[in-house]
Amino acid sequence: MLLTLLQAPPARPAASGPPPLTCADSSVTTLGDLSLHCVDLVPVPDVTTMSGYAELDYAPTPYGIPVTREGVVRWQVRMRLSGLRHRPSPRWIGGPHYVAWVAPPSMAPLIRLGRVRNGANLVGEVALPVFTLFVTEEADTAPATMGKLLLRAQSPSALMQPHGSSRLPAREAGAHQHGAWPMPPMHPRVTSMPPGLEVLQPDATPWWPSATPVPTAPPAAAARGAARARARPARGAPANAPPAPPDAEAIVLGAKDTAVLVTAPLARTLAGRAFTGYAWNGRVPAPTLRATEGLRSTLRVVNALGEPTTVHWHGLRHDWRQDGAVGLSQEPIAPGATFTYRLAFPDPGLFWYHPHLREDRQMDLGLAGTIRVAARRDDWLAPVDAEHVLLLDDILLGDSTVYPHGAERPTHALMGRFGNVITVNGAVRPELALRAGQVVRLWFANAAGVRPFNLAFEEPLPMKLVAADMGRMEQERRVDVVTIAPAERWAVDVRLDQPGRYALVNRVLGVDPVQQAYFPQVDTVATLVVSAADTPAAPTPAQRGFDALARHDEETDRFDAWRDAAPQRELLLTLQPTGLPIGLEQAMRADTQYVQPVEWVGTMPMMDVLSTPRQARWILRDVASGKENHEIAWRVPRDGVQKVRIRNDRHTLHAMQHPIHLHGQRFVVLAVNGRPAADRAWKDTVLVPAGATVDVLVWFQNPGRWMLHCHVPEHLASGMHAVITVGDEEGR
Amino acid sequence: MTGAWWARAAVAAVAVLGVAAPLGAQAYEQLGPQAKAYVTVPEPVVALVGVSVVDGTGAPPKAEQTVLIERGVIRAVGPSASVAVPAGARRMELAGHTVLPGFVGMHDHTFYTTSLRSTQMNVTGPLLYLASGVTTIRTTGSMSPYSEINLKRNIEAGMVAGPRMHITGPYLTGAGAGGGMHALVTPEDARRVVAYWASEGASWLKFYTLVRKDVLAAAADEAHKRGLKVTGHLCSVGYRDAVDAGIDAVEHGLFANSEYDPAKEPDKCPAGFEAKYTTLDVNGPEVQRTFREMIRRKVAMTSTLAVYELFVPNRPPLEQRVLDAMSNDVRNEYLTTRARLAEPGAFAISPAVFRKAQEYEVAFVRAGGLLACGVDPTGNGGALPGFGDQRNYELLLEAGFTPVEAVKIMTANGAQVLGNARIGTVEAGKAADLQVIRGDPVARPAEIRNTTIVFKDGVGYDAPKMIAATKGLVGVR
CA distance A406 to chain B (A): 21
Distance from CA of A587 to the nearest CA of B (A): 8
The answer to whether B272 contacts A108, with C-beta atoms less than 8 Å apart, is no
| B278 three-class SS | helix
Please report, for residues A495, B108, B367, B432, the alpha-carbon distance to residue B56 in angstroms, rounded to integers and kept in the order given. 78, 19, 20, 13
CB contact under 8 A, B146 and A167: no
Distant-in-sequence, close-in-space partners of B465: CB < 8 Å, separation ≥ 6? A2, B38, B40
Nearby residues of A694 by Cβ (< 8 Å), 6 or more positions away: A645, A646, A648, A669, A671, A672, A686, A688
Whether B200 and A516 lie within 8 Å, measured CB to CB = no
Q: Do B311 and A129 touch (CB under 8 A)?
A: no
Contacts of A152 in chain B (CB under 8 A): 146
The 10s digit of each residue's pLDDT in B393-435 is 999 999 999 999 999 999 999 999 999 999 999 999 999 999 9
Cα–Cα distance for residue pair A265/A247, rounded to 1 Å: 15
Work out the angle between the directed axes of helices B351-366 and B285-296 (0-180°, nearest 10).
50
Q: Show residues of chain A in contact with B465, CB under 8 Å.
A: 2
Q: Do A196 and B344 touch (CB under 8 A)?
A: yes
CA distance B341 to A196: 11
Structure ipTM: 0.83
pLDDT, tens digit (0-9, with 9 covering 90-100), for A318-337: 999 999 999 899 999 999 99
Tell me the residues of chain A between 250 and 279 that have a Cβ less than 8 Å away from chain B: none
Which residues from chain B sit within 8 angstroms of residue A583, using beta carbons? 343-347
For A196, the closest of B159, B274, B346 (CB atoms) is B346
Q: Which residues contact B103 (CB under 8 A, 6 or more apart)?
A: B132, B133, B134, B135, B136, B373, B389, B410, B411, B414, B435
Would you call A516 and B311 a contact, using CB atoms and an 8 Å cutoff?
no
Contact B35, B161 (CB under 8 A): yes
| CB contact residues (below 8 A), chain B span 263-302, against chain A | 269, 271-274
pLDDT digits (tens, 9 = 90+) for A13-46: 444 567 889 999 999 999 999 999 999 999 998 8
Tell if the CB–CB gap between A6 and B34 is shorter than 8 Å. yes
Whole-angstrom Cα distance, residue A101 to residue A84? 16
- A49-85: b or e for each residue (b if 16 or more CB lie within 10 Å)? bbbbbbbbbbbbbbbbbbbbbebbbbbbbbbbbbbbe
Q: Side chain identity at A268, as an amino acid letter?
A: R
Answer for the pair B257, B290: CB distance below 8 angstroms, yes or no.
yes
- The answer to whether the CB atoms of A167 and B379 lie below 8 A apart is yes
- With a CB-CB cutoff of 8 Å, which residues 94-153 of chain A face chain B? 105-108, 129-130, 149, 152-153
How close is the nearest chain A Cα to the Cα of B159, in Å? 7
Closest residue to A167, CB basis, from B144, B184, B308 = B308
Per-residue pLDDT, A167: 43
CA distance A95 to chain B (A): 24
Over chain B (477 residues), the average pLDDT of each successive run of 10 is: 36 37 70 96 97 98 98 97 96 98 98 83 96 98 92 94 97 84 93 95 95 97 98 96 98 96 93 88 97 98 96 88 94 86 78 96 98 94 96 98 98 98 98 98 98 98 98 92
- Please name every residue paired with A660 in a beta bridge, in sequence order, or none if there are none: A686, A710
Q: Using alpha carbons, list the distances in angstroms from residue A216 to A155, A231, A261, A277, A311.
A: 59, 12, 13, 19, 17
Of B116, B272, B341, the CB nearest to A195: B272
Q: Tell me the helix, strand and coil percentages in chain B, rounded to 5.
A: 40, 20, 40
A222-239 b/e with 16+ CB inside 10 Å = b? bbebebeeebbbbeebee
Buried b (16+ CB within 10 A) or exposed e, A167-179: bbbbbbbeebeee
User: Does A106 sit within 8 Å of B192, measured CB to CB?
Assistant: yes
Task: Give B 47-106 residues with CB within 8 A of chain A.
Answer: none
Q: Using a CB–CB cutoff of 8 Å, tell me whether B150 touches chain A.
A: yes
Q: For B154-193, b where at least 16 C-beta lie within 10 A, e where not — what string?
A: bbbbbbbbbbbbbbbbbbbbbbbbbbbbbbbeebebbbbb
| CA distance linking residue A722 with residue A632, whole number of Å | 5
Selected residues 153-192 of chain A with any CB under 8 Å from a CB in chain B: 153-154, 157-162, 164-172, 192
CA distances from B430 to A258, A657, B447 (A): 96, 58, 25
Backbone dihedral angles phi then psi of residue B468, each to the nearest 5 degrees: -60, -35
Beta bridge partners of A76: A57, A125
Q: With b meaning 16 or more CB within 10 Å and e meaning fewer, what string describes B269-303?
A: bbbbbbbebeebebeeeebeebbbbbbeeebbbbb
Strands B134-138 and B103-105 come out as parallel
The DSSP letter of residue A581 is -
**Ramachandran angles phi, psi of A82, nearest 5°:** -145, 150
Are A582 and B345 inside 8 Å of each other by CB? yes
Longest dimension (CA), chain A: 101
The whole-model pTM stands at 0.88
- pLDDT score of B171: 93
CB–CB contact B178 A517 (8 Å): yes
Which among B154, B252, B341 has the least Cβ separation from residue A10? B154
Give strand ranges (E) for B10-110.
Answer: 39-41, 45-53, 62-70, 73-79, 90-93, 97-101, 103-105
Name which of A3, A48, A168 to mutate to probe chain B: the one with the most chain B Cβ atoms within 10 A of its Cβ: A168
Best interface-test mutation with A: which of B111, B116, B268, B329 has the largest number of A CBs within 10 A? B116
| Residues 6+ away with beta carbon under 8 Å from A660 | A573, A646, A685, A686, A687, A688, A708, A709, A710, A711
What is the rounded distance in angstroms from the CA atom of residue B72 to the CA atom of residue A525?
71
According to the model, what pLDDT value does residue A17 have?
A: 66
Kindly report the nearest CA distance between residue B37 and chain A, in angstroms: 8
At A698-728, the pLDDT tens digits run: 999 999 999 999 999 999 999 999 999 999 8
Cβ neighbours of residue B443 under 8 Å, at least 6 residues apart? none
Residue A511 contacts residue A601 (beta carbons within 8 Å): yes
What are A460-491's pLDDT values in tens digits?
A: 999 999 999 999 999 999 999 999 999 999 99
Mutate to test the interface with B, among A167, A575, A651 (most CBs of B within 10 A): A167
- Secondary structure of A158-210 as H, E, C letters: HHCCCHHHHCCCCEECCCCCCCCCCCCCCCCCCCEECCCHHHCCCCCCEECCC
Q: Of A646, A690, A686, which Cα lies nearest the Cα of A668?
A: A686
Low-confidence ranges of chain A (pLDDT < 50): 1-15, 88, 165-169, 175, 220-240
> Do residue B271 and residue A170 have CB atoms under 8 angstroms apart?
yes
Rounded distance between C-alpha atoms, residue B144 and residue B120, angstroms: 7
- What type of residue sits at position A646? I
Q: Which of residues 54-73 of A touch B (CB under 8 A)?
A: none
Contacts of A10 in chain B (CB under 8 A): 34, 122, 150-151, 154, 159-160
